[in-house]
Chains A and B, each alone.
Chain A
Amino acid sequence: MSRNTKINLVLLFVVAALAVLPLALGLGDHKEEPFTGADAEAETAITELKPDYEPWFSPLYEPPSGEIESALFALQAALGAGVLAYYFGLRRGRRQGEQQALEREADSALAGAAGKSTAEQD
């Protein structure tokens, strides 16, 4: 494994650790509902600060269940990951193609030069 790949893997590992540690250490245990979204907590805080506040507009479309919502979130992540993977795959392929073309060129130039020199010797 190259040094580059190792560093990349370490980066991913640290990100994973940062996500897992709060769960593993039980940092949500002091809450009634651990690990809810901060956005929802803000809504609760708003209703605490201003109990009579009524949202004056509701979403045009609301996912009918938590499952559908998580499916749509997964779709969002998958779309993004797909485009990113396409980009890096395309770049890698192009680079390899260019390299092969260069090698082939160098080979044929070498073969051409060799052919010429043998021809001169004759």
Chain B
Amino acid sequence: MHIAEGFLPPAHAVAWGVASAPFVVHGVRSLTREVREHPESTLLLGASGAFTFVLSALKLPSVTGSCSHPTGTGLGAILFRPPIMAVLGTITLLFQALLLAHGGLTTLGANVFSMAIVGPWAGYAVYTLLRRSNAPLMVAVFSGAFVADLSTYCVTSVQLALAFPDPGSGFLGALGKFGSIFAVTQVPLAVSEGLLTVLVMRLLVQSSKGELTRLGVLLAKKQSRTETETEAVAR
């Protein structure tokens, strides 16, 4: 999903940068608030960022005969909500743009928009919907991570189709072209990402119950029962 350096016309590059900036600024604020109010969450924040680092470095072969990589943004979005993931994703993209010549500074806005904003929000929305309708935690986690991954690549396809419409068939023709490169390749990788996110969430459930309860991923069963008990007593 990395649009290469200089591969978006200047007007598009600026527009995506302007669209992304408020999300990242808002994310930085949420992140500093989270760290100030809950210093103990710094470690898990680091782990969420690390997950994105690993997954976006893994280029995996796919059914279309080309390689692509997962994004790893679903986990952080589910744990810390999308604004914070916008920052973690931007850091990852900046690292790759500066050191790996993967993505770029002029296309950073567009890449941040797809991987660090739309992906996390879409994944978080699906996760929240499923949780509200009482789906099991791991089903919601898998779906959230899957959607975060796949939607990122769909956005990239739209971004490129907007910038380079097909001379004959226009925007839709180009969308089909870029979509077949990105979105189709991504389907099995999104499944992999979903499974890996479930794996990490399972490990977290074993190791960090308290943290997950505070973040609202696990429900505080005991606490709510004692709360209702004290309420009953008060009455």
Among A11-19, A99-107, A114-122, the stretch that binds chain B is: A11-19
Q: Name the contact of B59 in the complex, choosing from A28, A37, A82 (C-beta under 8 A).
A: A37
A74 cross-chain contacts in B, Cβ below 8 A: 57
Q: How far is the CA of A86 from the CA of B95 in the complex (A)?
A: 21
B216 cross-chain contacts in A, Cβ below 8 A: none
Bitwise, B90-132 to A at CB < 8 A (1) or not (0) is 0000011111111011100000000000000000000000000
B199 touching A11, Cβ below 8 Å? yes
A11 touching B61, Cβ below 8 Å? no
Q: Decide: A80 near B102, CB < 8 A? Known: A35-B65, A57-B6, A58-B6.
A: no
A37 touching B99, Cβ below 8 Å? no
> Which secondary structure dominates chain A's binding surface?
helix
Is B20 an interface position by the 8 A CB rule?
no
A27, A29, A73, A92 interface centre (most CB from chain B within 10 Å): A73
B188 touching A18, Cβ below 8 Å? yes
- Tell me the A68-104 residues at the B interface (CB within 8 Å): 69, 72-74, 76-77, 79-84, 87-88, 90-92, 95
Q: Name the contact of A56 in the complex, choosing from B10, B68, B185 (C-beta under 8 A).
A: B10
Please classify how large the interface on chain A is, using the bins under 10, 10 to 19, 20 to 34, 35 or more: 35 or more
Q: Name the contact of A81 in the complex, choosing from B54, B102, B182 (C-beta under 8 A).
A: B54
Closest B residue by C-beta to A81: B54
Q: How far is the CA of A56 from the CA of B5 in the complex (A)?
A: 8
Q: Name the contact of B57 in the complex, choosing from A28, A45, A63, A77 (C-beta under 8 A).
A: A77
Minimal beta-carbon separation of B183 from chain A (angstroms):
10
A22 touching B51, Cβ below 8 Å? no
B66 touching A35, Cβ below 8 Å? yes
Among B21-29, B76-84, B173-181, B224-232, the stretch that binds chain A is: B173-181
A22 cross-chain contacts in B, Cβ below 8 A: 61-63, 65, 188
Bitwise, A52-71 to B at CB < 8 A (1) or not (0) is 01011111111100000100
Minimal beta-carbon separation of B187 from chain A (angstroms):
10
Q: A18-B191, A37-B67, A91-B207 are in contact. List 7 more A-B contacts (CB 8 A).
A: A11-B195, A19-B61, A41-B66, A80-B50, A81-B50, A83-B49, A88-B207
Q: Chain B: residues with CB nearer than 8 A to chain A?
A: 1-7, 9-10, 43-44, 46-47, 49-68, 95-102, 104-106, 156, 160, 164-167, 174, 177-178, 181-182, 185-186, 188-189, 191-192, 195-196, 198-200, 202-203, 206-208
